[in-house]
Amino acid sequence: MENVFDYEDIQLIPAKCIVKSRSECDTSIQFGKHRFRLPVVPANMQTIIDEKIATFLAERDYFYVMHRFEPETRKDFIKSMREKNLIASISVGVKDEEYSFIEELADEKIVPDYITIDIAHGHSDAVIEMIQHIKKHLPDSFVIAGNVGTPEAVRELENAGADATKVGIGPGKVCITKVKTGFGTGGWQLAALRWCAKAATKPIIADGGIRTHGDIAKSIRFGASMVMIGSLFAGHEESPGTTVEHDGKLYKEYFGSASEYQKGEKKNVEGKKMYVEHKGALQDTLTEMEQDLQSSISYAGGKTLNAIRTVDYVVVKNSIFNGD
């Protein structure tokens, strides 16, 4: 594979500014049937999102994906979002009971707007069959399938009916897939994104490895429509998970969905737990992300996210050990 690089190896090159103020730059994105304020979605992990945060985000036109780790609550969750006239966006796995869950939703005419198939190794028959099952029973739901790390996987999931694919195997902050298995896109996630984007005919979500707001613009440049982020959203006042105090400082837990803390057992563990500094209010981070992205658009010489997609860039080999 030619030209392998990651976020910290790339600098985008500025183009002539066409706005008088960064506030003229529009960070919104059409994704499926809806338009969202930012091309950013908090990770569907139990220490990142819960029903309260999902409602907060949906009410303010941010995209969200609810996690799948309290499966019995999902039906009521969709109903309650519907009652509030908010988008319903859930996650599913691929085990047998998930097939009946999809059928139940269809029978009761409870139709989520977005369904994310959330599996570590998404290039599999299990995911292809689940895409086909959802499309058969809930054809109006927008299906996001993942996670994958190759163009071949993107093509196969798209051909199976996925409306978007999610790229990123192992670049996450609490991920240990790279060290436990030797596989993944950890350390070259941005190059993997570019590789996958060349094959994609539908939107791609870049998932994992985002360490700065500038990495969002870089993901857009290399083909992402949406960027999924865990660690930068961890540790807020609203974040689920316990808060601890250490040396007078407050921290919040952030653990992997394949960690023993999530699974409740040490079987096929590919995630770990860490503590992140308490960050304050979620809205402040979202606002800062929007302002930084407006600035990125202005450096790209445009007024919308599309301007970023065609900017020039340089590779400045500077890799730090991402993830793990």
Smaller CB separation from ligand NDP, 19 or 126: 126
- Antiparallel, parallel or unpaired: β 114-118 and 142-148: parallel
For residues 50 and 65, give the distance between their C-alpha atoms in angstroms, rounded to a whole number: 10
Strand, coil or helix: what is 148?
strand
List the one residue from 112, 187, 203, 208 that touches ligand LQESDW3C (CB under 6 A). Answer: 208
Site for ligand LQESDW3C in 154-193 (CB under 6 A): 168, 170, 172-175, 177
If one counts every other C-beta atom within 10 angstroms of the C-beta of residue 241, the result is 22
Strand, coil or helix: what is 9?
helix
Question: Known binder of ligand: residue 225?
Answer: yes
User: Which of 45, 42, 43, 97 lies closest to 75, judged by CA?
Assistant: 97
Q: How big is the site for ligand NDP, counted in residues (CB under 6 A)?
A: 20
- Antiparallel, parallel or unpaired: β 114-118 and 89-92: parallel
CB of 230 to ligand LQESDW3C, least distance (A): 3
Establish if 227 lies at the interface with ligand NDP (CB under 6 A).
no
Angle among Cα 303, 44, 304 to the nearest 5 degrees reads: 5
Task: Give which of ligand LQESDW3C, ligand NDP, none residue 228 binds (C-beta under 5 to 8 Å, depending on kind).
Answer: ligand LQESDW3C
Q: Which helix (H) or strand (E) holds 191?
A: helix 189-199
Task: Lay out the site mask for ligand NDP across 154-173 (x = CB under 6 A, - = otherwise).
Answer: --------------xxx-x-
Burial status of residue 3 (CB atoms within 10 A of its CB: 0-12, 13-18, 19 or more): exposed
Known catalytic residues are 175
List the one residue from 45, 148, 162, 308 that touches ligand LQESDW3C (CB under 6 A). Answer: 45
List the one residue from 71, 93, 151, 301 that touches ligand NDP (CB under 6 A). Answer: 93
For residues 40 and 286, give the distance between their C-alpha atoms in angstroms, rounded to a whole number: 9
Q: Which helix (H) or strand (E) holds 134?
A: helix 125-137
Establish if 256 lies at the interface with ligand LQESDW3C (CB under 6 A).
yes
Smaller CB separation from ligand LQESDW3C, 34 or 263: 263
Q: Residue 166: beta bridge partners?
A: 146, 205
Angle among Cα 232, 233, 237 to the nearest 5 degrees reads: 125
Question: Known binder of ligand: residue 223?
Answer: yes
Structure tokens at 316: 């400045």
Burial status of residue 288 (CB atoms within 10 A of its CB: 0-12, 13-18, 19 or more): exposed
Task: Lay out the site mask for ligand NDP across 186-225 (x = CB under 6 A, - = otherwise).
Answer: ----------------------x-----------------
Select from 91-99, 137-145, 240-248, 304-312 the region that touches ligand NDP (CB under 6 A). 91-99
Establish if 118 lies at the interface with ligand NDP (CB under 6 A).
yes
| Contacts with ligand NDP, residue ranges (CB under 6 A) | 93-95, 118-121, 126, 147, 168-170, 172, 175, 177, 208, 257-258, 268, 270
- Name the site residues for ligand LQESDW3C (rule: CB under 6 A): 43, 45, 147, 168, 170, 172-175, 177, 207-210, 228-231, 256-259, 270-271
- Could you list the residues known to form a binding site, using ranges: 204-227
